[in-house]
Structure 1
Amino acid sequence: METSELFTSIENTTNSTVGTNEYQKAELNLYYVACEVLVAIFAVVGNALVIFVFRRERRLRRRTNYYIVSLAAADLLVGLLGIPFAILSSVGLPVNLHACLFTVSLLVVLCTISIFCLVAVSVDRYWAILHPMGYSRNVRTKTALGESVGD
């Protein structure tokens, strides 16, 4: 086998490998988008139901449930805005620098809000379990709503 034939053989092997990787990459993106859309649908429907039931049933308006509803609202926004923007950024959109910065910033803010709401629920439950008597004395619904107790 001559040198030129060897290079041609290597080029053909490289080109066929690159073509296969591009095909697999497109297939993985389709799988990713399908999973993200499924998660978004479940997030929107589930969290909308939580908010709907909370608004409908007055018995659920307890201090701990306000934290749960704030978490549901944050996750609803992630499902409505965050996941579609994540899908757009996975395909390389938007191409404008400012729109791209806005998209990434929105993703970070929405996910951070969701995480902080989850931390608030965890701290509330931790305090209620660790100090049950002090919790019922000190924590009021106005505290959960962020209002001043003196008002």
Structure 2
Amino acid sequence: MEINNTTGFYIISTFNVALNDLQICFIAIEIIIGLVTVLGSSIVLALYYHERKSPKISYKYFTAMAIGDLIQGFVTPTICIYFSFGVTVSDPFCFESVVIGVTAVFVSMLLMLAMSIDRYFAIMKPMEYKSRVTPEMTYGIIFACVFGGLAGGAATALSRKEPNNPNALCFVFTEYIKVGFNATFLGAIVTPCLIIFVYSYVKIYKVILDALEVALILIIMTIK
């Protein structure tokens, strides 16, 4: 019996050490992600400030997205690190943190989607793009993305329910948020955004590759 108790204690101690090491690794990764995001966004904003008089519409999207990513770089890693300490759904700040995180992700995702569509039309249909797209329209789209992100956060707040298991970790959103909202969030919002994003950039990269192929052929013909 003594051997069994000693063995059990050793297993539990080893598990706790491994868990602590995993948590430290997770926190380190989140800090790195946050620092890289903040640094990258700050560089973009600094470049925009240097070129702030440029009329290019793409700069406005880059700036808006950089601001969104800058906020997300501060918010999301902080929340994830907070959750990594074993915060349960019964914690008073759990649901509020989830709402803030979802709002930041929503805003950033919608801005990325808007920029992807903008770049798609700018490259695929340049003449129509230049004649129809105006700075005012761009600002309207950016504000609509921000409003959509806030609406997503509000919808998350309104979807709150009483947790079935108060001791569940705060990562388990279904304990606090209705399953229907999660399905809608993934099926009707996130998935279409990802499809449009991937489709837009596949088309853009195809055009770029075709242009590079033509340029390479011209260079080879010139050399010959």
After TM superposition, the score normalised by the length of structure 2 is 0.57
Tell me whether 1:107 sits opposite 2:96 in the alignment.
no
Write the distance in 2 (CA, Å) between the matches of 1:99 and 1:52. 34
The residue type equivalent to 1:18 in the other structure is I
Pick the aligned partner of 2:25 from 22, 31, 37.
31
Corresponding residue of 2:138: 144
CA contact (8 A) 1:64 1:144 kept: no
Q: Determine which structure has more spread, i.e. the larger CA radius of gyration.
A: 1
Pick the aligned partner of 1:41 from 27, 35, 39.
35
Q: Could you tell me how far 1:130 is from its partner in structure 2? A: 2.2
**Structure 1 stretches of 5 or more lacking a match?**
none
Distance of aligned partners of 1:60 and 1:35 in 2 relative to their CA distance in 1, 3 Å threshold: farther
Cα RMSD, aligned residues only: 2.1
> 1:44-88, CA deviations, whole angstroms, 9 ceiling, x for partnerless residues?
122112112212323544111111111111110011222112211
Higher relative CO (Cα under 8 Å, sequence separation at least 6) belongs to 1
CA contact (8 A) 2:89 2:95 kept: no
Name the SS for the 1:91 alignment partner: coil
Q: Could you tell me how far 1:139 is from its partner in structure 2? A: 0.6
Corresponding residue pairs, total: 141
Name the SS for the 1:42 alignment partner: helix
Counting only pairs closer than 5 Å after superposition, residues 1-150 of structure 1 correspond to structure 2 as 5=1, 8-93=2-87, 97-146=91-140
Q: Could you tell me how far 1:95 is from its partner in structure 2? A: 7.8
Q: Percent identity?
A: 25
After TM superposition, the score normalised by the length of structure 1 is 0.82
Q: Could you tell me how far 1:132 is from its partner in structure 2? A: 1.6
The residue type equivalent to 1:24 in the other structure is A
The residue type equivalent to 2:102 in the other structure is V
